[in-house]
């Protein structure tokens, strides 16, 4: 990846308000709806600044970011402020035309985030009302103007579309249209919000400069409702690029459906909502093309397809075969699928090219039960699953996974 740099002054200006916005790793708010498709979102006074009486100790709020009368403010800006001898702050943000902007006070109690990107090239006024230590109300105001609409934007997209129902192992997957520089990823991550009902601890993990995943500490609870918001519209992303838009997605977790395959017994045990409902004979990869041991999730499902390896450099591995009930597990080509040609040895001998072979009847049954994001663990084979070969979020321990966060984990 090429190096990305910015001047210290630019970095300092951005950090001044970005660091004050959200301090936690876990994001707990999301709302709204953007796209239904699965696709690839200094404290100063005067001149519009603070208005305070000079008598007695100072009481009230001081807006620290954006600076009073600031120009070219990113449309993603948050409102950061300090409090002096006052409490119970409320924030109002209005455009020059008097239109109110919705937003939320952040957990630190010292910053307020608009519910979405502000309009470009627009003047805004912040009003903070609070209660002074003497019990009297205080009011302070500050104004700023957002930047013109940028010409260099980054598309931010969610793999999952609105309303999808997925398995308990499904990671939330966000992709960026260009690489996010290392020193901007924490700023971006602070604008990725996840809310689950029931609430479950989770974290974002960068799998590459263009992709970040979110998973809970343990599998999602069956029936969980998830809303996540990518509040990236107008967000600086390095080299003069800004996020193109905000994205909002609502999804639901289906029943818990977990498959476990043991090479020693050559059987698959299927558990649904904690109860074993089926034991299925399987044939795994033969020694020359072993199946990978590890925890994977179903990436895609194809009722009918053709496996074509005619470009394999090893003639022994070349074949072109019609396949029924194929469920992809890895990018390298390991699937669960029906294999009527191996039904005679399933449960006894491994003959596949790395896939999990089941009978035609069991292939059809599994295909009708599973969802994208359902979990399968394979164990006791000759090869270990390589992280990144599929959605391998669950192939890492929680301690390993949090290391992929751009924000230090304090759980």
For residue 67, which of 10, 126, 116 has the smallest C-alpha distance? 126
Cα dist. 90→46, 136, 164, 398 in Å? 21, 15, 37, 38
Please give the pLDDT value at position 308. Answer: 79
* Top-confidence residue, 179 or 310: 179
How far is residue 350's CA from residue 353's CA, in Å, rounded to a whole number? 9
Question: Quick check: 36 pLDDT over 50?
Answer: no
Contact by Cβ (8 Å): 162, 155:
no
3-state helix, strand, coil in the chain (%, to 5): 10, 40, 50
Contact by Cβ (8 Å): 307, 319:
yes
Please give the pLDDT value at position 55. Answer: 57
For residue 72, which of 244, 242, 231, 245 has the smallest C-alpha distance? 242
* Top-confidence residue, 411 or 71: 71
Please give the pLDDT value at position 6. Answer: 41
Question: Quick check: 10 pLDDT over 50?
Answer: no
For 20, the enclosing helix (H) or strand (E) is helix 8-21
| pLDDT, tens digit, 9 for 90 and up, residues 120-129 | 999 999 999 9
Average pLDDT score over residue span 276-300: 97
Q: How confident is the model at residue 56 (pLDDT cuts 50, 70, 90)?
A: low
Q: Which residues contact 348 (CB under 8 A, 6 or more apart)?
A: 266, 281, 283
Percentage of the chain exceeding pLDDT 90: 81
Question: Quick check: 184 pLDDT over 90?
Answer: yes
Q: Which of 18-27, 271-280, 313-322 has the lowest mean pLDDT?
A: 18-27
Phi, psi of 56 (to 5 degrees): 75, 180
Please give the pLDDT value at position 411. Answer: 78
Average pLDDT score over residue span 237-251: 97
Contact by Cβ (8 Å): 65, 182:
no
Q: How many CA atoms lie within 13 A of 155 on its CB side?
A: 7
The full DSSP string for 302-316 is EEEEEEE-TT-SSGG
Contact by Cβ (8 Å): 58, 52:
yes
| pLDDT, tens digit, 9 for 90 and up, residues 133-169 | 999 999 999 999 999 999 999 999 999 999 999 999 9
Angle subtended at Cα 57 by Cα 51 and Cα 62, rounded to the nearest 5 degrees? 40
How far is residue 387's CA from residue 220's CA, in Å, rounded to a whole number? 20
Count how many residues are written for the chain: 411
Please give the pLDDT value at position 209. Answer: 98
Please give the pLDDT value at position 315. Answer: 75
Give the three-class secondary structure for 395.
helix
How far is residue 46's CA from residue 49's CA, in Å, rounded to a whole number? 5
Please give the pLDDT value at position 282. Answer: 98
Percentage of the chain exceeding pLDDT 70: 85
Using omega within 30 degrees of 0 as the cis cutoff, is the peptide bond preceding 198 cis?
Answer: yes
The structure's pTM equals 0.83
Please give the pLDDT value at position 142. Answer: 97
Contact by Cβ (8 Å): 221, 258:
no
Please give the pLDDT value at position 104. Answer: 96
Q: Which of 1-10, 12-21, 179-188, 257-266 has the lowest mean pLDDT?
A: 1-10
Contact by Cβ (8 Å): 31, 229:
yes
How far is residue 105's CA from residue 369's CA, in Å, rounded to a whole number? 43
Contact by Cβ (8 Å): 147, 72:
yes
DSSP-assigned letter for residue 50: B
Please give the pLDDT value at position 110. Answer: 93
Cα dist. 180→84, 387, 394 in Å? 38, 21, 24
Q: How many CA atoms lie within 13 A of 136 on its CB side?
A: 10
| pLDDT, tens digit, 9 for 90 and up, residues 299-357 | 999 999 998 776 777 777 777 889 999 999 999 999 999 999 999 999 999 999 999 99
- The mean predicted confidence, pLDDT, of the chain is 88
Give the three-class secondary structure for 350.
coil
Domains and CATH numbers, the chain: 8-38+155-254 (2.60.40.3710), 60-146 (2.60.40.3780), 257-380 (2.40.440.10)
Catalytic residue among 205, 213, 337, 353: 337
Q: How many CA atoms lie within 13 A of 245 on its CB side?
A: 9
How far is residue 71's CA from residue 44's CA, in Å, rounded to a whole number? 14
Query: In the annotation, is 31 catalytic?
Result: no
* Top-confidence residue, 406 or 1: 406
Catalytic residue among 205, 213, 353, 355: 355
Please give the pLDDT value at position 160. Answer: 97
DSSP-assigned letter for residue 371: -
For residue 155, which of 172, 176, 184, 181 has the smallest C-alpha distance? 176
Contact by Cβ (8 Å): 252, 164:
yes
Q: How confident is the model at residue 66 (pLDDT cuts 50, 70, 90)?
A: very high
Q: Which residue has the tokens 């109690």?
A: 109
Please give the pLDDT value at position 313. Answer: 78
Please give the pLDDT value at position 9. Answer: 42
Query: In the annotation, is 4 catalytic?
Result: no
Please give the pLDDT value at position 310. Answer: 67
Please give the pLDDT value at position 243. Answer: 98
Question: Quick check: 390 pLDDT over 70?
Answer: yes
DSSP-assigned letter for residue 256: -
Q: Within 137-213, where are the H helices?
A: 185-189
Please give the pLDDT value at position 312. Answer: 75
Contact by Cβ (8 Å): 346, 337:
no
């Amino acid at each position: 990846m090429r190096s990305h740099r910015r001047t210290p002054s630019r970095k300092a200006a951005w950090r001044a308000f970005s660091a004050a916005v959200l301090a936690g790793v876990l994001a707990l708010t999301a709302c709204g709806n953007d796209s239904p498709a699965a696709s690839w979102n200094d404290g100063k006074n005067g001149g519009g600044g603070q208005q305070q009486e000079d008598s007695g100790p100072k009481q009230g709020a001081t807006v620290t970011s954006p600076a009073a009368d600031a120009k070219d403010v990113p449309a993603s800006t948050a409102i950061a402020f300090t409090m002096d001898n006052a409490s119970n702050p409320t924030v109002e943000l209005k455009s020059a035309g008097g239109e109110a902007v919705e937003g939320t006070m952040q957990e630190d109690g010292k910053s307020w985030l608009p519910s979405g990107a502000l309009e470009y090239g627009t003047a805004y006024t912040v009003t903070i009302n609070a209660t002074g230590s003497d019990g009297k109300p205080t009011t302070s105001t500050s104004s700023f103007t957002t930047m013109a609409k940028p010409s260099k934007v980054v598309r931010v997209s969610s793999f999952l579309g609105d309303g999808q129902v997925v398995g308990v192992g499904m990671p939330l997957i966000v992709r960026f249209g260009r690489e996010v520089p290392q020193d901007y990823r924490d700023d971006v991550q602070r604008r990725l919000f996840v809310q689950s009902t029931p609430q479950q601890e989770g974290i974002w993990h960068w799998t590459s400069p263009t992709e970040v995943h979110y998973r809970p500490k343990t599998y999602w609870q069956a029936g969980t409702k998830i809303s996540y918001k990518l509040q990236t519209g107008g967000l600086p992303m390095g080299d003069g690029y800004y996020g193109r838009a905000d994205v909002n997605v609502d999804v639901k977790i289906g029943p818990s459906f977990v498959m476990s395959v043991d090479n020693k017994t050559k059987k698959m045990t299927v558990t649904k909502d904690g109860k074993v409902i089926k034991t299925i004979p399987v044939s795994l990869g033969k020694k020359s093309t072993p199946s990978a041991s590890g925890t994977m999730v179903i990436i895609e499902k194809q009722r009918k397809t053709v496996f074509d390896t005619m470009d394999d450099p090893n003639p022994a591995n070349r074949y072109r075969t019609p396949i029924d009930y194929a469920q992809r597990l890895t990018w390298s080509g390991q699937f669960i699928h029906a294999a009527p040609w191996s039904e005679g040895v399933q449960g006894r001998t491994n003959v596949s090219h790395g896939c999990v072979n089941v009978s035609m009847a069991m292939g059809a049954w599994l295909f009708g039960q599973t969802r994208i994001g359902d979990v399968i663990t394979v164990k006791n084979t000759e090869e270990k699953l390589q992280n990144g070969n599929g959605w391998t979020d669950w192939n890492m321990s929680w301690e390993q996974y949090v290391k992929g966060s751009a924000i230090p984990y304090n759980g």
